[in-house]
């Protein structure tokens, strides 16, 4: 126990631990809504579609973390809004629309990045690369936590403030519309919250792995409860715990002379939690179902008088 406590208190590791914990909680919370609405892969699309926004923000002179993140958020949100438009007008199936916007925006981002690297040779273009692939999480500094708090805090507040509306929107959007709620605007707002969570995570865990942070905590939590409130809280807890556990794990393993990247370790941790939940959750879990089936069969056989 003591080595673990030492690690937790390690001032070099503290910013990383804080960042992954906050990020895990944030993405777990918004992920719960995404999974319930069958839009789990929103995160994947946003993280790819953020690239042209980052490039544009950089081009327009944005150098600070927050400006680049806002650029990422705007283009990620735009991609999802376009997906919504395509689906609403019945011009493309939902999944194909997501894939189409993901690929087009990402292509545009790469084109713009190519231009940037020529326009500003050797400058901070490397830092832009971080948005693609995630930094070594071990290099997170206390200052990097500012955007997490500045943007993640309000995102969570929106989630709380519009709790009732988002709940209704997630489970019965038609009913919400019939009650007079501005469904489309609420949808765009909830999308914006997802987008903020995703772009905040990009620089810590990278594009591909961010999708896991949205989906896995929620998929895990979903096995333990049927109520939205506990679902969101549990997903946030699991997300934060996996973030911390994954960081510690990668740090511990790294000490033996090999660098173990933090992002993938976090993803595998949270995936393991999700698989364990699928297997062992008390009512829905696979084990519980097998036991139930077994008991049922025995009772049936007893009644039927078989040996």
Partner 1 sequence: MSFAEREAMLLVLVTALACAVPGVLLVLRRLALIGDAIGHVLLFGVVGMYYLTGDLDSPWLVVGAVLSGVLTVALVELLERTQLVRGDAAIGLVFPALFSVGTLVASMHFRDTHLDVDQVLLGHVEYASSAPMAQLFGVPIGRRPTVALAALGLLNVGLAVVFFKELKLTTFDAALAATLGFLPALVHYGLMTVVSLTAVAAFDSVGPVLVVAFLVLPALTARLLSDRLHVVFLLSLAAAAVGAVLGVRAAFYFHTNTAGMVAVTLGVLYGVTLLVAPKRGLIAAEWQRFRRRRTFAETVLTIHLAEHEDTPAEPDESAFSGLHRHLDWQPAAVTGVVRRAERHGLVTRTGDALRLTPEGRRHAREAFGHLPG
Applying CB under 8 A, the residues found at the interface with partner 1 are 35, 38-41, 43-44, 48, 86, 89, 91-93, 95-100, 102-104, 106-111, 113-115, 118, 129, 132-133, 208-209, 211-212, 214-216, 218-219, 222-223, 258-261, 263-265, 267-268, 271, 274, 278, 284-286
Radius of gyration of the chain (CA): 21
**Shortest reach from residue 77's CB to partner 1, in Å:** 17
**Shortest reach from residue 175's CB to partner 1, in Å:** 21
Residue 80 or 108 having the CB closest to partner 1: 108
Would you say 138 and 72 are in contact if contact means Cβ atoms under 8 Å apart? no
Cβ within 8 Å of residue 74, ≥6 positions away: 53
Residue 148 or 214 having the CB closest to partner 1: 214
Residue 100 or 145 having the CB closest to partner 1: 100
Q: Cα–Cα distance between 166 and 181 in angstroms, integer?
A: 10
Residue 4 or 259 having the CB closest to partner 1: 259
Residue 126 or 306 having the CB closest to partner 1: 126
**Shortest reach from residue 133's CB to partner 1, in Å:** 6
Q: Which two tokens stand for residue 105?
A: 């925006």
Alpha helix positions (H), 14-64:
14-36, 42-59
Q: Cα–Cα distance between 35 and 170 in angstroms, integer?
A: 10
Cβ within 8 Å of residue 277, ≥6 positions away: 219, 220, 221, 223, 224, 285
**Shortest reach from residue 271's CB to partner 1, in Å:** 4
Q: Cα–Cα distance between 100 and 97 in angstroms, integer?
A: 5
**Shortest reach from residue 211's CB to partner 1, in Å:** 5
């Amino acid at each position: 126990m003591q080595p673990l406590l030492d690690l937790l208190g390690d001032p070099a590791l503290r910013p990383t631990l804080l960042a992954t914990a906050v990020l895990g909680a944030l993405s777990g919370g918004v992920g719960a809504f995404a999974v319930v609405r069958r839009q789990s892969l929103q995160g994947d699309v946003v993280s790819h579609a953020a690239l042209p926004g980052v490039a544009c923000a950089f081009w327009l002179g944005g150098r600070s973390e927050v400006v680049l993140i806002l650029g990422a958020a705007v283009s990620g949100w735009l991609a999802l809004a376009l997906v919504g438009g395509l689906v609403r007008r019945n011009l493309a199936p939902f999944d194909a629309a997501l894939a189409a916007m993901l690929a087009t925006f990402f292509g545009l981002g790469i084109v713009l990045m190519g231009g940037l690297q020529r326009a500003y040779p050797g400058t901070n273009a490397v830092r832009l690369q971080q948005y693609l692939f995630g930094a070594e999480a071990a290099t997170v500094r206390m200052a990097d936590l500012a955007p997490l708090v500045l943007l993640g805090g309000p995102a969570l507040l929106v989630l709380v403030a519009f709790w009732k509306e988002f709940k209704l929107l997630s489970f019965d959007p038609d009913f919400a519309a019939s009650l007079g709620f501005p469904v489309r605007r609420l949808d765009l707002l909830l999308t914006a919250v997802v987008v903020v969570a995703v772009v905040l995570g990009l620089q810590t865990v990278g594009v591909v792995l961010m999708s896991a942070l949205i989906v896995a905590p929620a998929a895990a939590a979903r096995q333990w409860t049927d109520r939205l409130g506990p679902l969101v809280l549990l997903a946030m807890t699991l997300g934060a715990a996996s973030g911390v556990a994954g960081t510690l794990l990668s740090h511990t393993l790294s000490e033996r002379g090999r660098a173990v990247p933090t992002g993938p370790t976090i993803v595998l941790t949270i995936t393991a939690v999700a698989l364990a939940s699928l297997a062992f959750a008390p009512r829905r879990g696979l084990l519980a179902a097998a036991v139930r089936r077994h008991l049922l069969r025995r009772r049936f056989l007893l009644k039927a008088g078989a040996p």
